[in-house]
Amino acid sequence: MILPPGLRVSVIEDFATSNKKRDSRNMPNRLANETSPYLLQHADNPVDWYPWGDEALERARAEDKPILLSIGYSACHWCHVMAHESFENDLIASIMNSAFICIKVDREERPDVDGIYMAAVQTLTGSGGWPLTVFLTPDGKPFYGGTYFPPEDRGHMPGFPRVLDSMATAYADKKGDVLQATTEITGRLAQMSSPQSSSEPLDDDLILTAFNTIARGFDWENGGFGQRPKFPQPLVLDVVLRRWAHTDASSVLEMVELSLEKMARGGMYDQIGGGFARYSTDDKWLVPHFEKMLYDNALLVSLYSHAFQVTGKPLYKHVVEETLDFVEREMSHASGGFYSAYDADSEGVEGKFYVWTPEQINNVLGESDGRVVRAYYGVEEGGNFEGDSILWLPRDIDEVAGELEMSAEEVLAVVERSRPKLYDERATRVPPGLDDKILVSWNAMMLTAFAEAGAAFDRPEWIARARNNAAFLLDNLFDGPRLLRTWKAGSDSKTGSAKIPGYLEDYASLGGALITLYESTFEQRWLDESRQLTDRMIDLFWDEISDVFYDTGTDASDLFTRPRDVFDNAIPCGGSSAANLLLRLATHTGDMSYRTAAENTLRSVREYIEKIGSGFGGWLSALDYYLSSPKEIVVMGDSQDAATKALLREVHNRYIPNRAVTGADAPITPAPTPLLEARVLVNNAPTAYVCENYACQLPVTDPSALATQLNA
């Protein structure tokens, strides 16, 4: 290992005793020219960071130096910890700069890079996470990796300087062994990502097998799946809700309702400001990992909207309203985009912004109202989180009211008038960091959430917000015909710039969101834009030889393999999003080539669905659509007419997971889609048609008659 003079012999011992911090040079590195908030967090590190790109890779090859790749994201708590402990330390930075070409990646900007090297580390170690630390040969192939490394040896964890020394020495002295290791790793990765098309049937038995696997992991005490840490898994719960729609089994619906109620009552839900944290560190949804991600809140809003359509429970409506209010208030750019995330930390402490003491509540509300609010939210001396209290609802309102010798209505009245006061007081604290980059696929999920909720709850202002977001994305995230991944506002906060060619998930998510917006507005522009996006998606990401989609376009060239992530994790993968989009578009347009492509890509993951189930929520939704006969619902009539609105309410206030909704103010000749062909107003009154496979029941003008057809 080539180290600065005098460091090699006792580097680890020297570091352990000195723990030397960065000096006053404060010279920014190359990351200062980036737009990612995460990369900018590292712009003043003494590490000679490069962003991912040709410059770093060419230097590594020219100097025959190994690459140290560090991947994280701005809201990641342990990414911050490793940055403070190691990347801001002059001694460790000098080792990194001397022995490696150092590359820093924002996983949210570059999911392709993150996906490949996360898979490599999981192959090597059996686990993964962020920060992700990977050592590569100069041609970008991995030979060792891990996640967080402490600045010195801790128990069974080697210190980062020791790891750096070992990896540099291995590459310098045992290059043959390193290259052999990379050959084995890349071979295994290629095998994992290669399509495995199945000729076995795509049928209801496959969905039932997957559902039974999912159900076995359900927590019947606290809701959700598994134990700690517990993620909300809205994609999986949506599969469960779809199962209920087919079976009407009360126990299946109970799985969804128990989960949604427990999450809404837990500390994972922000009881004061609305919105969900990323996951719960315990099994009761009490202690969150406090970061708030746009995609979690988008998917959960859609799920709670669907649950409201099924049950009509006010709690679900309440959660949707508060969460969308939070997004509109705190995660929205004036031009129409949605920001990515809020950090878990403020003032260097995880969760500090969100927690309370009894004294703090009393100071804001006074002793009388404070007593009620403390009882309602479970705030006690000693707290429930490191001496402070996370607000949650551990007890039913009747139990709290009985203890306080008040009525439930009186308790709720105190709570409702107190929440704005607590919010205003909390707003005076130092807030968590905001990641204000705008990502297409995540924005598309929130666009979908606003459009769906706007239709379900008859809130036209939410639909207008979705329309505004769609226009922003289409106007600002293209370079010619090419969709780009990310947009960041400039210094004046009004203008901005987009970069990084979009991935499969961006095209597929936005295409699906535009169909949802079309179904909420009947504005032809959105369906036309969706179809154009889909055709471009097929051109860029479809591989005709293997009959599957890849995550990167044919114009991508800077990775050692073409990534294809088939797992639905916190968000649906690009492949499952594409399958759902293609199936919906086939119904709207009558173009069965879209359906054929969806079927082929479903076959490529059939064996995974059968064996794993829970990691394929998006795929299972697509399979459910594929196996169904989607209801084709057409509503003709002036959108401002009360009779038209009454028909639309019957459509949008019920849960119909597999459907295509369209309509127009008046008959259109020629019709822009097959579903609108020969659709007329009966007796000059707003009229609804319910069809399946383009075979229709009798047109109806009465909402109750429409309800009967929809419920059939």
pLDDT, tens digit (0-9, with 9 covering 90-100), for 343-401: 999 998 999 999 999 999 999 999 999 999 999 999 999 999 999 999 999 999 999 99
Q: What mean pLDDT comes out for the span 250-272? A: 98
Strand pairing report for 101-106 and 67-72: parallel
| Strand ranges of the sheet holding 659-664, from the earlier edge strand across to the other edge | 659-664, 631-636, 687-692, 695-696
**CATH number belonging to the domain at 11-193, selected among 3.30.420.10, 3.40.30.10, 3.90.550.10, 3.40.50.2300:** 3.40.30.10
Determine phi and psi for 700, rounding to 5 degrees. Answer: -130, 150
How many H helices and E strands in the chain?
A: 26, 22
Q: How far is it, in rounded angstroms, from Cα 701 to Cα 582?
A: 31
Residue 551: predicted pLDDT: 96
Distance, in Å, from the CA atom of 482 to the CA atom of 533, rounded to the nearest integer, reads 9
pLDDT exceeds cutoff 70 at 168: yes
Q: How many other CB atoms sit within 10 Å of the CB of residue 422?
A: 21
* Best CA proximity match to 656, nearest among 578, 710, 700, 576: 710
Is the pLDDT at 453 greater than 90? The verdict is yes
> How many angstroms separate the CA atoms of 516 and 335, rounded?
21
Supply the DSSP string of 233-290, one letter for each residue.
Answer: -HHHHHHHHHHHHHH--HHHHHHHHHHHHHHHHSTTB-TTT--B-SEESSTTS-SEE-
CA distance 688 to 701: 6
Rounded average pLDDT over 563-587: 96
- H helices of 382-523, in order, are 397-404, 408-426, 440-456, 460-476, 504-521
Mean pLDDT within 497-519: 97
Mean pLDDT of the 415-440 span: 97
- The answer, yes or no, to whether residue 305 has pLDDT greater than 80, is yes
Contacts 24+ apart (CB under 8 A), 61-65: 61/138, 61/139, 63/101, 63/138, 64/138, 65/99, 65/100, 65/101, 65/138
- What residue type is 274 in one-letter code? G
Through-space distance between the first and last CA atoms of the chain, rounded to whole angstroms:
73
Residues 623, 207 contacting (CB under 8 angstroms):
yes
Three-state SS at 71: strand
Indicate if the pLDDT at residue 72 is higher than 90.
yes
**Is residue 172 pLDDT above 90, yes or no?**
yes
3-class SS of residue 700:
strand
User: The tokens 């150092």 sit on which residue?
Assistant: 102
Domain 631-711 adopts which CATH fold? Glutaredoxin (3.40.30)
Determine the Cα–Cα distance for residues 507 and 501; give it in Å rounded to an integer.
10
pTM, two decimals, is: 0.94
Q: How confident is the model at residue 589 (pLDDT cuts 50, 70, 90)?
A: very high
Structure confidence by residue, pLDDT tens digits, 148-165: 999 999 988 999 999 999
- Band of the pLDDT at 67, cuts 50, 70, 90? very high
Encoded amino acid at 657, one letter: P
- Judge whether residue 13 has pLDDT over 60: no
Q: What is the reported pLDDT for 495?
A: 82
- Please answer whether residues 124 and 145 qualify as being in contact, where contact means their C-beta atoms are separated by less than 8 angstroms: yes
Q: Which of the four pLDDT bands, split at 50, 70 and 90, describes residue 24?
A: very low
Structure tokens given for 206: 């496959």
- What is the rounded CA–CA span in Å between residue 215 and residue 224? 10
CATH 1.50.10.10 in the chain, residues?
Answer: 204-346+435-627
Q: What is the pLDDT of residue 613?
A: 86
- Every domain of the chain with CATH number 3.40.30.10 lies at 11-193
Whether the pLDDT of residue 555 is over 80: the answer is yes
Q: Are 95 and 87 in contact (CB under 8 A)?
A: no
Asked whether the beta carbons of 240 and 255 are under 8 A apart, the reply is yes
Does 197 have pLDDT greater than 70?
yes
Q: Are 145 and 121 in contact (CB under 8 A)?
A: yes
Q: Three-state SS string across 126-184, please?
A: CCCCCCEEEEECCCCCEEEEECCCCCCCECCECCHHHHHHHHHHHHHHCHHHHHHHHHH
**How far apart are the C-alpha atoms of 107 and 134, rounded to whole Å?**
13
**What b/e sequence results for 621-643 when a residue is b if at least 16 CB atoms lie within 10 Å of its CB, and e otherwise?**
bbbbbbebebbbbbbbbeeeeee
Q: Is the pLDDT of residue 10 over 50?
A: no
For domain 204-346+435-627, give its CATH number from 1.10.1670.10, 1.20.120.160, 1.50.10.10, 3.40.50.2030: 1.50.10.10
Q: What pLDDT was estimated at residue 23?
A: 44
pLDDT at 120 exceeding the cut of 50: yes
Residue 499's DSSP bridge partners are 486
Mean pLDDT of 553-567: 89
